[in-house]
Amino acid sequence: MLPTYLDVVVVAFVLILPFLYDSSRAFRYYFKFFIYYGIVMTTAVVVIPIMMCRPKDVKNLLYVFSN
């Protein structure tokens, strides 16, 4: 089975990633910011529907802070 163009690009990016992380401060900053933003957005997507089941209930915060 031949690799697709997307597979080649992803593998190349993963192989170049450590060199960019070590050599560039700007890349390191934006990479960490991207990871932080991704974690915050994932948490929001998971938690908001749970909180919609019981609106205006203070106990909903227990779901957020229990992790």
Per-residue pLDDT of the chain (67 residues; tens, 9 = 90+): 888 999 999 999 999 999 999 999 999 999 999 999 999 999 889 888 888 888 888 887 776 666 5
Element (H, E) at 30: helix 25-52
Q: What is the dihedral of CA 12, 15, 18, 20, to 10 degrees?
A: -30
> 58 and 64 in contact (C-beta within 8 Å)?
no
pLDDT at 38: 96
CA angle 53, 58, 64 (to 5 degrees): 75
pLDDT at 66: 64
pLDDT at 36: 97
Count the domains in the chain: 1
Structural domain that includes position 52: 5-65
